[in-house]
Amino acid sequence: MPRERLVSPELISQEEETFNRSLRPPTLDEYVGQKKVVEKLSIALQAAKQRGESLEHVLFYGPPGLGKTTLAYIIANAMGSKITTTSGPALERTGDLMGILTNLGEGDIFFIDEIHRLPPNIEEFLYPAMEDYKVDFVVDKGMFAKTINIPLKKFTLVGATTRAGSLSAPLRNRFGLFYHLEFYDVEDLRRIIQRSARILSAPLDEAGATEIARRARGTPRIANRLLRRVRDYAEVKAKGEINTAVAGDALKLEGVDDHGLDDLDRSFLSTIIRIYHGGPVGVEAIAATLNEEVDTLVDMVEPYLLQQGFVSRTKSGRKANEPAYKLLNLPVPGGAPRPLFE
């Protein structure tokens, strides 16, 4: 069973999803960050509404926790449409998909999270639905088999994926709009945290919001999760008031340092430096040493460490960079590489 990490960009419980839903901005005007995406999506929505047409099929891709689901709900709200949500792994039989598609109304939004994990038979079933708004449903088997052509209302498929490269070319080519979501800067995260604090009626000053934002790893989902922990700490230890000191103490207690790293991140770096002398070392060896799954390290730990310049990927394996040695208060060897961007 994977460990629950406070700084994981993935959802850690259904309760958290319910909580996040209460914090989602309903319109693009209230959506913070992703300026290029918001501007292009706003134009596409306005144009579709002026023509009285359904929005083209949309694909959002990027790391988890950046707001792909939120944007799907904003699209539905902007178009005045109903939204039906599911995920790639949940669609196993064509009958399941058939029931969803035939119940979609004109202009409705069909949101598929983790769309790169759709089974091949479901993906092929989607092609005519996306392209021609019809599906061919086969009834009976063998010599008694009959194909029934069923027309569909014009709907908009919104797909979300963390691995755009894993989508098949035929599926990818059927989307008209592609939007890449990037990590947020501290200023945008601060604004998100302040908005969430207002909704939660949590007293929070600007410096406290910045302190939380600095440790949120560029991800709104993590920022809101940290805010919840800090709010709990403040209510018990600081009469509910959240400032820099309170936020710092709360997150230190949770094991989240000034860089937004937790125990697993630091163990990852420490293993490369102390056990494998700074690398290069294969991720399989690191996973075996830490007794963790390779996928956990590749998907949940490495991306942020790579982005921040703590480690580098080479053909020979992972190498620790100079900031990793400084983080762990270890002497920097002469040959330790610097990050490409500082």
What is the residue-wise DSSP string for 131-163?
A: HHSEEEEEES-GGG-EEEEEE----EEEEEES-
CA distance 67 to 220: 7
CB atoms within 10 A of CB 232: 12
Smallest CA-to-CA distance from 31 within 85, 77, 81, 79 is with 77
∠ CA 248-251-254 to the nearest 5 degrees? 150
Q: Is 210 a catalytic residue?
A: no
18 flagged as catalytic: no
How many distinct helices (H) and strands (E) make up the chain? 15, 9
Distance in Å from the first CA to the final CA of the chain: 36
Sign of the alpha-carbon dihedral angle for 306, 326, 255, 263? positive
Reading the block at residue 217, the tokens are 């790893």
How many other C-beta atoms are found inside a 10 Å radius of the C-beta of residue 223? Answer: 25
Interatomic CA distance for residues 279 and 325, integer angstroms: 12
Question: Looking at 94, 156, 162, 271, which residue is catalytic?
Answer: 162
The H or E element spanning position 305 is helix 302-307
Contact 37, 58 (CB under 8 A): no
**Catalytic residue status for 68:** yes
Total residues found in the chain within this entry:
342
Sign of CA dihedral 200, 205, 206, 209: negative
The catalytic residue among 113, 188, 262, 265 is: 113
Phi first, then psi: what are they for 110, rounded to 5°?
Answer: -115, 110
**Omega before residue 280 within 30° of 0, cis:** yes
Backbone angles phi, psi at 258, to 5 degrees: -60, -25
Q: Is 195 a catalytic residue?
A: no
Catalytic pick from 215, 217, 221, 231? 221
Examine the residue annotation and report whether 221 is marked as an active-site residue of this protein. Answer: yes
What are the residue numbers of the active site?
A: 68-69, 113, 162, 221
